[in-house]
Structures are given as structure tokens and as C-alpha cells.
Structure 1
Amino acid sequence: MAKNRFSENKGPSQRQLRVAELIRRTLSEVLMRGEIHDPDLARMSITVGEVRVTPDLRIATVFVLPLGGEGKDEVVALLARNKYEIRRALNKAAQLKHSPDLRFMLDDTFDQMDATRKLFEKDEVRRDLEKDDESDPE
């Protein structure tokens, strides 16, 4: 009986990681060069932080953030509106066998980093960390 490799809770395969990074780089270059003919999209600088691809490589979730964080709500809508043109440009540049369906989401990694940094700056947390350092003989 064959194992169902999609139900196992392993991380992404090397192939998924390779394709995701290829899509991220190519999409960044396409957006940087302004190959998408939308004036609203052309005026924005967009950071493509990460791309996650499904195991069958059919769906790519693209995590984006506008430079400076302004227009967060607008950027996902603009990218979704131009999804087919972006997909065409991506397929032309990356020369993938199958062009994945693109899904755009806001990248909240930077917000999480700020929240973590603020947490570590609190006096209670700093005091607890200093206690751990003193009791930890290395």
C-alpha cells in the first residue's frame, strides 16, 4: 500500500522550496521592472517576502508588503486584479512547466518582529531573561 505523502506533516520538499524561490525572485524582478501595465501598481514599490507552493506545485501563495507599509489594503487588491497578467509574465520569465495559480497575502512578518522586539524590551521580560542568564552555568 502506497503512502499518501500529502498527509504527512513534513516540511516542504526541496523541489517546492526551489520553485518557490524561483517564483519569488522572478516576481520581484517583474514588479521592479514595471512589466505589469497598471498605473496604480506601477507607482507602488512592493516587497515579495516569501512564496509558498503546494506539494503539487499548482498553487503559489505570495506574501507581499508595500515598501514603507503604506497602502497595505490596496496592494493585495491590485495584485489580485492583475493576477493573470502577472502569471503570464511569470511563466514567460521563469519558464515553468505549469504556471501556478497565484494567491496574494499580506506579509505580517515585520509586524511580528516588531511585536517580539517590544516584548523583549519590557522590564518584566528583561528581568526574567537576566535571571535565566545568571542561573545558567555554561
Structure 2
Amino acid sequence: MRVMAKNKSHDGSGPSQRQLRVGELIRRTLSEVLARGDVHDSDLNRISVTVGEVRMSSDLKIATAYVMPLGGEGQKDLIAILARNKGELRRLIGKRLELKYAPDLRFRLDETFDQMDETRRLFAQEKVRRDVED
């Protein structure tokens, strides 16, 4: 009788080291590809894009990239433009990283910047500052 290893994606322990490593490699490569203008889309090449994080699915077949345009302008347009070019981006990433299978790319707005601004705003309130300083 074979004993099956517990699937880490379902035990609440978070991403595996492999997921984190591959996600970071894809984040760096995607950032380089976008910064260098390697995609043949003038709309995309006009936008400076910050890639904050890439999260991998447990089977490494889906990479969700959290992105934000520099300055925050045109967020919805950015997601549409990236989605339109995901095939070429996937091909470039797969080629550069020499992955056996290049993951499907998905793009989401990186809301951590907004969350940081909100946190700063809360800490700047007089009542909160009093509570923190006591």
C-alpha cells in the first residue's frame, strides 16, 4: 500500500519554496521584458510597469502577476494591454528561463501601494497616534 504525501497547497501552510522561487524568477524576467520593450506593442512600450509580485499555482501552470503602472495612471488599460500580449510575454518568459512548461499568465492590479497609503493615513490620525504612543 502506498502512502500519499499530503498536498501542501491544501494544508494552509502557504506556497512551497519551489512556487516562491519560480514566481520570483518570473517576476524578474517579466520586469526585464517590460522594461526593455521586448514586446511588439507600442501601447505597452509607452507604459512603465512595476511588477510587485508573481504568485504561482501549486502545479506551477498559472502565474498571477500583480502589476501597477508607474504613477498609478491607466490601471485598467494596463491590465487589458497585458492580457492582449500575454501570449508573447509567456513565450519570452519561457524562452529566457528555459522552463519545461511556460505558465499561463494572469494579470491583477497590485493593491499593496493603496493599502500602504491607507495605513499611513490611519497612523497619521491624532487618535491613533495617541494610542500607539501610549
Structure 2 counterpart of 1:129, from 118, 129, 132: 132
1:82 aligns to 2:85 (yes or no): yes
- 1:1-138 matches, within 5 Å, as 1-5=3-7, 6-131=9-134
RMSD: 0.9
* Unmatched segments (≥5 aa) in structure 2: none
1:3 positional shift: 4.2
Count of aligned residue pairs for this structure pair: 131
> Matched residue of 2:10: which SS?
coil
Give the Cα separation in 2 of the matches to 1:126 and 1:45: 36
> Matched residue of 1:99: which SS?
coil
Query: Runs of 4 or more off by more than 4 Å in structure 1?
Result: none
Give the Cα separation in 1 of the matches to 2:86 and 2:57: 18
Please give the TM-score of this superposition, normalised by the length of structure 1.
0.92
Structure exhibiting the larger radius of gyration computed from Cα positions: 1
> Matched residue of 1:35: which SS?
coil
Partner amino acid for 1:24?
R
Please give the TM-score of this superposition, normalised by the length of structure 2.
0.94
